[in-house]
Structure 1
Amino acid sequence: MNDPMIGRRSLLRGAGGLAALAALPSLSACGTGTSRAASGGGKGGSKTVIVRDSGGAFGEALQKAVYTPFTKETGISVQVTNLQGTQMLAQIKQGRPQFDLINNSMMDHAKFVGQGALETLDLDRIKSLKSAKLPEHLVTDHSVAASFYAQCMAYRTDAFGGRKPQSWADFWDTKAFKGARSMCNPEADLPELEFALMADGVPMDKLYPLDVDRAFKVLTRLRSDVKKFWDSGPLPGMLLSRQEVTMSTVWHGRLADLLKQGVPVAAQLNGARRQYQGFGIAKGAAHVDAAYQLIDYSLRPEVLANLATAYPTNPASPVAYTKITDEVRNKLAGAPQYYDKGFDADLDWWIKNEAAVTKRWLEWARG
């Protein structure tokens, strides 16, 4: 799975699953994933940093906007691996990680911290934190956020006679907004309990702790209208473009390709759920200094802006948006006019409850 939004799914569900996995023998025989090295000249080409990222189109954008210019500036070669979470943990537990820097979700970083798998960061070595002006909650002792993705609703603009759904209550209203729906399977992302609660009138700033019983009651009201629970990033767009559904939850960045193809779709960012991804240094990393230098470079507002221009990801730095063209910025969920319409997923709540909620969701979906 080479999708930037699904790095968190490369790990077992819940901290308990990680603990059990970490006790297993080495998984290095599973392979180290695909690798690529940054090209370009620069000083001191013998220096290296090995980064784990999720690959795919996002990995290509990282190569273009971050790794290659970093190498040209510093002379540090960037090698990339697409290891899955279980493989990373096994290597770290053996004290021989074949990577230095981990680009992954902040939720997975938090789970790794619980396994003692990340180095404690010396934030004074990340000079760009000052210029990036990251919100305090996105800078932890073991990881720093670089970007986020937004999960929201998408709808066909030709389906409702010119009317536009404005809220999750509209998503649930299949009389006023007719047609089938699609929502995500936990194989794709966190169960969408927050959306159900907002559809039932819970204010966005009062969602947590989630009322799980209430959320499942609301989900049940829509269950018969859900044609497909999507388990991969492209699927919502396929269902919308084939007119199999009129509305779906979706990773917002996925709509860019549909719009380029002329598919009549739009996003509604009211009540969008944000999840952040960023950097952590593997415990026992061999190239710690180079890892710090790459983090520092990656968090420069102008570099984050370049990455957002190359791929529809949303910088965690508010300063980066001032360095993006109006055309690009207005298509991002993180643009100033959209940001306050969404909310951050409560990672502490989800880490404690994800396994139980996912188990219940799977039982609920089977009927």
Structure 2
Amino acid sequence: METFKKASAYPLSRRSVLGAGLFGAAMLASPFVRRASAADNVLYVNTWGGDWEASVKKFLFDPFTADTGVEIRTVSPISFAKLAAQKTTGVYEFDVTTLGVADIARANAAGLLETLGDHIDATKLWKGAIYENGLSTHGFATQIAYDKAKYPAGITSWADFFNVEKFPGNRSLQRHAARVLAIALLADGVSPSQLFPYDLDRAFASLDKIKNDVRVWWTAGPQARQILTDGEVDMAGLWDSDAAGAKKASKEPIEIVWDQAVVDQACWVVAKDSPRAENGFKLISHIGQNAKGLAQFCIADQNGPMNPKAFDFIPPDVAKTMPTYPDHLARAVMLDGGKLTAQLDELTTRFESWVGL
């Protein structure tokens, strides 16, 4: 069985760094941040850096600056640990960041976030836009992709993915407790409406069925894409953008399954007690009302917009590749971090122990 150590050969992605405490780049910006005050017409935003930052700057940050005159300076990479440290130290290296649903629930419960609903006009936003004191702007899915030549009859669900007798072969899943436990329960027949909070004993009993067949617990999107493309595994649960990339690059026919895709959301938040919180609320409100910019960002970064109006600016053939396209979203399962808050520490610790056994 492949080990976690293989992950070191692959670059970290924006979705896998969160919470890892990798804040070296952020430290470089800290002297400038410490000199900035609430009176300055500036805002410090924590980003993933690289192509992600280039896309968000072009389509979301620059239009905001043009409309408001507020300068945005970026700090990367994303760090949950730094967000938590700021509340304790009072030294704010960034004022705004993005979090997935599990981390936003954790941050909200720990009092690390400003109350968003008190500062932006929710009537100008879409239903469900405000999530746990964050603005949910775009989503990404963990979905099944498999080698069609090996399984010509097709794999159609997580139950099939977990059926090692009917569908023998090497598998891969992300080393991410909140997402994988949802998958394990869906595979065991739990309906989406009954998924949260997790029945942990049932989830781990389900995972036991495939443990010996999971060759790689991947930790970065490019890693998952590569091992499926190279045929190192026969099926994988991976992000939609990487599933599409594997299908395009593989010599073997790769089939992608949209049914039961597990969708996580990225939410913009303002750090609790930030001296520049007012500018942070302005940015989040602007992003929420910039449907065209969000559409362009999602096209560039291969996400799906949560704002339905954004699809008015996305070509139909491109929209159909996105996890939040209405037809796909209707068949998907949305992660609910709020309902997992009380379990997050336990499920993460238990999962890491289980993987290491």
TM-score (norm 2): 0.84
- Offset at residue 335 of structure 1 (A): 0.4
Match of 2:356 in 1: 366
**Cα distance in 1 between the residues matched to 2:286 and 2:204:** 44
- Offset at residue 249 of structure 1 (A): 0.9
Match of 1:114 in 2: 109
Q: Among 63, 85, 88, which residue is 1:93 paired with? A: 88
Maintained 8 Å contact 1:132/1:319: no
Match of 1:347 in 2: 337
Does residue 59 of structure 2 align to residue 71 of structure 1?
A: no
User: Letter of the aligned partner of 2:213 in structure 1?
Assistant: D
SS at match of 1:32: helix
Deviation by residue 1:276-310 (Cα, 9 ceiling, x = unmatched): 12121122323233222211221222221111111
Deviation by residue 1:14-38 (Cα, 9 ceiling, x = unmatched): xxxxxxxxxxxxx99x662576xxx
User: Letter of the aligned partner of 2:116 in structure 1?
Assistant: L
**Cα distance in 1 between the residues matched to 2:192 and 2:304:** 21
Match of 1:183 in 2: 173
Match of 1:133 in 2: 126
Deviation by residue 1:50-75 (Cα, 9 ceiling, x = unmatched): 11122233222212221223323333
SS at match of 2:15: helix
- Offset at residue 201 of structure 1 (A): 2.0
**Cα distance in 1 between the residues matched to 2:313 and 2:154:** 31
CA RMSD of aligned residues (A): 2.6
Which residues of structure 1 form unaligned runs of 5+?
Answer: 12-26, 36-45
- Offset at residue 260 of structure 1 (A): 4.2
Does residue 15 of structure 2 align to residue 5 of structure 1?
A: yes
Q: Report how many aligned residue pairs link the two structures.
A: 334
Write out aligned runs for 1:320-331 (5 A): 320-331=310-321
- Offset at residue 236 of structure 1 (A): 1.5
- Offset at residue 265 of structure 1 (A): 2.4
- Offset at residue 229 of structure 1 (A): 1.3
Deviation by residue 1:293-328 (Cα, 9 ceiling, x = unmatched): 211221222221111111111212122223211121
Write out aligned runs for 1:286-301 (5 A): 286-299=275-288, 300-301=290-291
Does residue 150 of structure 2 align to residue 155 of structure 1?
A: no
Does residue 227 of structure 2 align to residue 233 of structure 1?
A: no
Match of 1:144 in 2: 135
Match of 2:36 in 1: none
Write out aligned runs for 1:199-214 (5 A): 199-214=187-202
Maintained 8 Å contact 2:218/2:224: yes
Maintained 8 Å contact 2:221/2:239: yes
Which residues of structure 2 form unaligned runs of 5+?
Answer: 1-10, 30-39
Match of 1:38 in 2: none
Maintained 8 Å contact 1:61/1:311: yes
Maintained 8 Å contact 1:3/1:56: no
Are residues 34 and 273 of structure 1, via their aligned partners in 2, closer, same or farther at CA, if it must alter by over 3 Å? farther
**Cα distance in 1 between the residues matched to 2:95 and 2:242:** 29
TM-score (norm 1): 0.82
Maintained 8 Å contact 2:138/2:266: yes
**Cα distance in 2 between the residues matched to 1:34 and 1:174:** 49
**Cα distance in 1 between the residues matched to 2:110 and 2:245:** 38
- Offset at residue 262 of structure 1 (A): 4.9
